[in-house]
Structure 1
Amino acid sequence: MPYLKRDGDVFVLYLGAEGQTIDSENRFHPDWITEVHALLDEVEASEGPAALVVTANGKFFSNGLDTDWLFGNFDKNCWYLDRVHSLYSRLLTFALPTVAAVNGHAFGAGAMLATSCDFRVMRADRGFWCLPEVHLGMPFTVAMNALLTNRLTNQVAVEAMTTGRRYAADDAIAAGIVDGKADADALLATAIARADMLKGNRKPNLPVIKRALHQNALAGLAVKTTPENLAFNP
């Protein structure tokens, strides 16, 4: 399960279990989602200047939806997808500055999680940011479409969503998907340093600014998933 550490005034939320193997994919199991929300609650309950870094260990940042759980519980698919969306809304409006340290592959829902943070730093030498839904025969929900089309430029959204292109760090920077890169051994320190510079912005007006800034994305994320607006059957 995810866990939390602290480096000075910067909280570091790890998406995978402490001591996880290099191949842990950090997929969005319902219990995993609940634990991430609980850790975010813990961060928000803190006081004073602070910021948040979201990262993981090993090969994956997050490989997205827990498809084994989803297809084994498909009668709950709309409920499950709305739980996924709740993390995006939570991060878009989070009361602290947020930086994603994308340590490895960020695919599908995992790519969208990184995109929900204020800023992103990506590992320079390996790993991709990718939306593979077109290759998997899966649609984007109304909520996911709203997030991506409001956080990416139109042509980047077209390319990413309709071709499933895999963006390495340099390509992701050029497309405006991420803000910077760092070697693997410096990635977390780079993200923490960036977050630390922003910790003083933790003020009551920060989430107000974020809600106004992301109002269109948040409106789409608030649309409940239904069988009618989810044109997908396994």
Structure 2
Amino acid sequence: MTISGSGPIWTLDLGDGENRFSPDWLAAVESALDELETATEPAALVTIGGGKFYSNGLDLEWLGAHFDQYAAYVDSVHALYARLLCLPVPTVAAVNGHAFGAGAMLALAHDYRVMRADRGYFCFPEVDIEIPFTTGMNALITSKLSPRTASMAMTTGRRYSGPDAVAAGIADATATLEDLPVAAADLVRDVAGKNRATLGTIKSRLYADALAALRLPEAADTNGADTADAVGAA
């Protein structure tokens, strides 16, 4: 995983594998965001994966082997979503391939999304793999999608292609794989100079309800037990 800046555009390469949320992967993303937030020049963030995945979400294999750390793990996932939601620079997910489950939610936590036009799906498979959304995840999704789209995506497990995602209001645009980084950067280049303190405050207030849900400790979430039981059985 690498982060690099070219003019005002910072690009975070999430990796060329499935980009599942292992603790080390989460820590690397947080470190990259630290680097971005430490900089003071005008900036906007593009995140992108390599290969056939943007992100395949939770690392269920790791979680199954460390289930005693479930609450802390989910808190770290929620913390990343919350940080991206109110990051004080414009953000865009360049969805190069599949974005499933928690990986799809990662894309939603950005300000904008550009999907590859010809391949890759955006999908919440939770209803089919019998893992309920946490309260925080539910709040994130419903803060970003229309009620109709959220209901359809969350209760059916539908797979959205790039054009379908644009039609549903999930993505803002599509592009070829070759043009994806430029198309994503073009969405935010002109707003990279917004005052960080002001932008961060606006985002924090805009998504106040989702942020409050994401910052609720998983151990204190009375609905979290259902999710934990389902993950443990998966």
TM-score normalised to the size of structure 1? 0.94
Aligned to 1:14: 13
Query: Is contact 1:61-1:105 (8 Å) kept?
Result: yes
* SS of match in other structure, 1:121: strand
Distance in structure 1 (CA, Å) of the matches to 2:134 and 2:218: 7
Distance in structure 2 (CA, Å) of the matches to 1:85 and 1:118: 17
Aligned to 1:87: 80
Which consecutive residues of structure 1, in runs of 5 or more, have no partner in the other structure?
none
1:83, distance to aligned residue in structure 2 (A): 0.6
1:70, distance to aligned residue in structure 2 (A): 0.6
Q: What amino acid is aligned across from residue 124 of structure 1 in structure 2? A: A
The answer as to 2:196 corresponding to 1:199 is: no
Query: Is contact 1:92-1:214 (8 Å) kept?
Result: yes
1:203, distance to aligned residue in structure 2 (A): 3.1
The answer as to 2:112 corresponding to 1:113 is: no
Query: Is contact 1:51-1:202 (8 Å) kept?
Result: no
Aligned length: 227
TM-score normalised to the size of structure 2? 0.94
Aligned positions of 1:112-151 closer than 5 A: 112-151=105-144
The answer as to 2:95 corresponding to 1:102 is: yes
Distance in structure 1 (CA, Å) of the matches to 2:188 and 2:150: 26
The answer as to 2:210 corresponding to 1:229 is: no
Change (3 A) 1:173 1:84: same
Distance in structure 2 (CA, Å) of the matches to 1:97 and 1:56: 18
Listed one character per residue, the Cα deviations across residues 148-207 of structure 1 (whole Å, up to 9, x for unaligned) are 111111111111111000000111011110100101110011111222122122432000
The answer as to 2:30 corresponding to 1:37 is: yes
Distance in structure 1 (CA, Å) of the matches to 2:97 and 2:103: 11
Aligned to 2:64: 71
Distance in structure 2 (CA, Å) of the matches to 1:103 and 1:229: 33
Which stretch shifts more, 178-187 or 221-230? 221-230
Aligned to 1:183: 176
Which consecutive residues of structure 2, in runs of 5 or more, have no partner in the other structure?
none
Which stretch shifts more, 150-159 or 113-122? 150-159
Distance in structure 2 (CA, Å) of the matches to 1:64 and 1:211: 24
Distance in structure 2 (CA, Å) of the matches to 1:151 and 1:36: 22
Distance in structure 1 (CA, Å) of the matches to 2:222 and 2:43: 42
Q: What amino acid is aligned across from residue 176 of structure 2 in structure 1? A: D
Q: What amino acid is aligned across from residue 229 of structure 1 in structure 2? A: N
Q: Equivalent pairs: percent with the same residue?
A: 49
Aligned to 1:4: 3
